[in-house]
Amino acid sequence: MKKYAVLLLIVAVTLAGCTPLERQAYNVAVGAKAFLDSEKASHPECSTGATSTLCVDIAKAVAAKDVLLDALTVYCSGPAFASGGACNPPAKGTPASTQAAAKLQAAISGYNQTAADIKAVTGGK
């Protein structure tokens, strides 16, 4: 349930106007949800504890998507965002801004790598 609440908050980010990093993270998160839902539906054996390479990669990608959502929440955290409003990224040029942006970018890269791993196992499908 928490994940859906975060997704709703991400939608609020989109509607309120975004910086390129926020928009990129949002787009990756939305794409990740659709891609992973499709992969899980195509491979129901993975929900029963199968340990094939594909199932392990799907589990890693789900975890990477969750990390991305958490990093986006941290990046956007602030009074307005906490109450469902616009993203409140740290002020540019501050150490917090640099760190939060780097962590969010790393989370995006981490998810993208796990998605690429799945595509490699499935032949890009």
**CA dist 4 → 29, 30, 68 (Å):** 12, 11, 14
Calpha distance 100→1 (Å, rounded): 25
Domain ranges within the chain, ordered by starting residue: 2-122
pLDDT at position 82 is 82
pLDDT at 12: 47
DSSP string across 33-91: HHHHHHHHHH-GGGGGT--SHHHHHHHHHHHHHHHHHHHHHHHH-SHHHHTT----PPP
Q: pLDDT tens digit string along 57-115?
A: 999 999 999 999 999 999 998 888 888 888 888 888 999 899 999 999 999 999 999 99
d(CA 105, CA 100): 9
CB within 8 Å of 94: residues ≥ 6 apart: none
What b/e sequence results for 53-69 when a residue is b if at least 16 CB atoms lie within 10 Å of its CB, and e otherwise? ebbebbebbbebbbbbb
pLDDT of residue 17: 52
| Per-residue pLDDT, 125 | 66
pTM, whole model, 2 decimals? Answer: 0.80
Whole-number pLDDT of residue 6? 47
Q: CB 10: neighbour CB atoms within 10 A?
A: 22
Q: What are 11-66's pLDDT values in tens digits?
A: 544 444 556 899 899 999 999 999 999 999 999 999 998 999 999 999 999 999 99
